[in-house]
Structure 1
Amino acid sequence: MLAGLIVAIAETEGEGVLRAELPLAGQTLIEQQARLLASAGATHLVLLVERLPPALLAAVDRLRRDGLSVEIARNVAEAADRVHPEERLVLLADGVVADRAMLDRLLAQPDGALLTLPDTPVHAEWERIDAETRWGGLMLLDGALLRTTAAMLGDWDLQSTLLRRVLQAGALYVAAPAGVLAIAGARDVLPEIERALGRRRTDAGTGLLDRIVFAPAARWAAPLAMRGMVAPAWFAWGAVALIGVAGGLALIGRPGIGLGIAMLSGPVAALGRRVAALGWRAGGDERRWRIRVAAAALLALTWQLYAGDAGWGVFALAGAILGLELALAGHRRFIGRPQPTPGWLADLDTAIWGLLPFALFDAWVAGLAAMAVHMLVTLLMSQRLTARKASECP
């Protein structure tokens, strides 16, 4: 079992607000820290705070609504009581913004390890360990050491005292890998930290549209969304709503306008995924709902084409597309990610954008036929990928 302890006591320079309250990557700093630890496997989190301003309390409520187990400790003794003596514990220092690479390297070590930085002028704000090394704000220990330290702490600073205790116990030095590692000590350093976070690689999707069109657009727009504190769920469900509006327009005889709106769904969803990834927020059911609503929009378009003398065959075509999608869904679950797949394989966004040239010539039935052929070829390739993965399984 892994627990996380986040220290949230220090105030920003000259503002009188806690570092933990600062806005970062579309959420507060404390949320960024908590979601990072949870993404690495921390099953419950303890926040060490001396006061709870409204912004911090609201952040804790949001974390709990998202299913994270978060406890508040008002002093060191309470924090120690909330961690089992045999539990592994990772401590994240006050105001530290870290990348997952830092945390993964630390957690690969046995209990009693410190993330370290070289003692250079650029690292002058980090706490010194010895003449050549500074502490990188992350430490790995066990609950028993936290409890014994809390028992003898008195008025001493928890971070520094734990650091010395871990060092006395023979902690391993773990050099920080390349990545994002910073101290958010004031509001004016946040833009640079967010730019560093924005340069971090996230899921760029698997399709050609994702890689070539959506991902670059999301990289450009993500900083704006983060500065506006827009939650990724707004983008994710907004993408679902766009397809729903497109289906409604198709039903009333405006499929061209509907297609243009549906094409916006992909970039909006990609932006939501990027903002969520930068803030270590897990995705929900939005992707499945996009497919479900797209299926309803397809049926709406089919009905409109039938009403326009396309004949009953258009329903058979729509049924074939939906059946192929069900078959592909099973293969996607088995193949999984992040195993690389060819970029030309059919997905929801390629299906939507692929209709554009046919819509320009009012050849909707031909477009649906081309979509079905593309999905059939994708299914055949997916079967090969499934067979290959099955052969690799022990």
Structure 2
Amino acid sequence: MLAGLLFAVQETNDRPERLTATLPFGGVTLLEYQARLLIEAGAAQIVILVARLTPELLGAVTRIGRRGVAVDAVRHVSEAAAKLHPLARLLVLADGLITTERVVGSLASEGGDALLVVPQADAGAVFERVGGGQAWAGVARLDPRRLTEAARLPRDYDAQSTLLRVAEQARAVHVLLPAEALAHGHGIERDAAALDRRGRAVLAAIVSDRRGWFDRQLVAPLARVTLPAMVERGWSGTATAAAGCVLGLTGLAAIALGWSTAGLSAAFIACLVLALGTTLSGLRDEPRIEQTQRVAGLTLPALAALFLGAAESGRAGNLTALAVAAALVTLAALAQRAGTERIRRWWWGSAPAVLLIVTLATAAHWPLSGMAVAAAYATATLAAAIERLRR
């Protein structure tokens, strides 16, 4: 069982009486964002060590509990130790930490005590120093017994620093933070303005961390420009879902009316909008809207291919194009199902990537050839995924 430990103790430097954990981040509070990272890493329980219960903090704790995990707010390390199962693996995130799912997931596996560290020369002022000329990067995997050991020390000690020192005394393994993580915004902040600036880099990195070439080369650059502005303006996931679905339905209607290139282009743009909306809804803790957009982003390319196949078969007077479209959809669906994020390679296809191939070929007046090439690409992806799974 994996459990998470968060801190809501430190106040911000530029907003007196405001806890850093309750500052806005990605449309929610920083504490909620950290909790989402823990949940996606597999945490079934989250304990939050608090200095005081403010209205903003109470609201954040309530919203975290709606995600289906057990949440407890405690005031002392001894209370946190009492809440945890003795056999649990404890994943700890520092107060004010901003990072990505990939960084947190790197310590979520089985193993003994481990601290994520950076060279002291690269560490910011708020990174706590540990041995060997290194500093703690804000993520740790600990045995719950470390909480019991920390609870034996005086209550006026800083809980986070105390826990870190106890882990060091237990000879926790040092795991070096990947160099690119710092460039993607990983850090600890105590200022609201600095948190906003660093958050922009992390928002873009959320999409950039995905392994497929389509997300890295097309969605990520678009996300760097649009996501921070959407979050700042309070753009909701529902509005993004509505825009994407309307644009997608318009594209399907255009294909049915014979405007294949325009319709496929509209459907492809709709897939980009839905991809951004899925990330935005995940940040805003809108699981239903997030799932709706994810399903729509996979269904729309399939419908566009089938509509194109039907239109081309109608013009040719035979069912060849429709048969090729049906084969393409089947192969792409199987490849999508088999190619999980854990085993995915950068060149593998996805539903929007396949739609891009068909759209470009149709614009060049080769719709049938485009569907055939896309089907071959989906076949290669499926074959590679099967081989990865066999290993």
TM-score band w.r.t. shorter chain: 0.7 to 0.9
What residue number does 2:11 align with? 11
1:272 counterpart = 2:272: no
1:160-212 residue CA offsets vs partner (Å, 9 max, x unmatched): 222232233333334433213322201111243124325633227445xx665
TM-score (norm 2): 0.76
How far residue 71 of structure 1 moved from its aligned partner, in angstroms, is 0.4
What residue number does 2:345 align with? 339
Give the 3-state SS of the residue equivalent to 1:154 in structure 2: coil
What residue number does 1:42 align with? 43
Instruction: Classify 1:86/1:239 alpha carbon distance in 2 versus 1 (closer, same or farther; 3 Å).
Output: same
Matches for 1:213-362 after TM superposition, within 5 Å? 213-230=218-235, 234-236=239-241, 238-248=243-253, 261-272=266-277, 275=280, 284-293=291-300, 313=317, 317-318=321-322, 320-337=324-341, 338-341=344-347, 347-352=354-359, 354-356=361-363
What residue number does 1:160 align with? 161
**Could you say which structure has the larger radius of gyration?**
1
1:126 counterpart = 2:127: yes
What residue number does 2:192 align with? 187
From 205, 210, 214, the equivalent of 1:203 is 210
What residue number does 1:23 align with? 24
Contact 1:9 1:50 in 2 (8 A): yes
CA separation in 2, counterparts of 1:48 and 1:187?
A: 21
CA separation in 2, counterparts of 1:372 and 1:318?
A: 9
CA separation in 2, counterparts of 1:131 and 1:318?
A: 64
Instruction: Classify 1:260/1:29 alpha carbon distance in 2 versus 1 (closer, same or farther; 3 Å).
Output: same
Q: CA RMSD in A?
A: 4.1
What residue number does 1:144 align with? 145
TM-score (norm 1): 0.76
1:383 counterpart = 2:388: no
CA separation in 2, counterparts of 1:273 and 1:218?
A: 11
Matches for 1:76-115 after TM superposition, within 5 Å? 76=76, 77-100=78-101, 102-104=103-105, 106=107, 110-115=111-116
Instruction: Classify 1:239/1:349 alpha carbon distance in 2 versus 1 (closer, same or farther; 3 Å).
Output: farther
- Match of 1:173, as an amino acid? H
CA separation in 2, counterparts of 1:388 and 1:199?
A: 29
Contact 2:250 2:263 in 1 (8 A): yes
Q: Which moved more, 1:25-34 or 1:166-175?
A: 166-175
Instruction: Classify 1:351/1:133 alpha carbon distance in 2 versus 1 (closer, same or farther; 3 Å).
Output: closer
1:32 counterpart = 2:33: yes
Instruction: Classify 1:211/1:177 alpha carbon distance in 2 versus 1 (closer, same or farther; 3 Å).
Output: closer
- Match of 2:373, as an amino acid? V
Q: How many residue pairs align between the two structures?
A: 377
Instruction: Classify 1:387/1:348 alpha carbon distance in 2 versus 1 (closer, same or farther; 3 Å).
Output: closer
How far residue 214 of structure 1 moved from its aligned partner, in angstroms, is 4.4
Stretches of structure 2 that go unaligned for 5 or more consecutive residues are: none
Instruction: Classify 1:53/1:353 alpha carbon distance in 2 versus 1 (closer, same or farther; 3 Å).
Output: farther
CA separation in 2, counterparts of 1:240 and 1:62?
A: 28
Give the 3-state SS of the residue equivalent to 2:291 in structure 1: coil
Stretches of structure 1 that go unaligned for 5 or more consecutive residues are: 359-369
How far residue 83 of structure 1 moved from its aligned partner, in angstroms, is 0.9
Instruction: Classify 1:93/1:218 alpha carbon distance in 2 versus 1 (closer, same or farther; 3 Å).
Output: closer
CA separation in 2, counterparts of 1:58 and 1:297?
A: 43
Give the 3-state SS of the residue equivalent to 2:272 in structure 1: helix
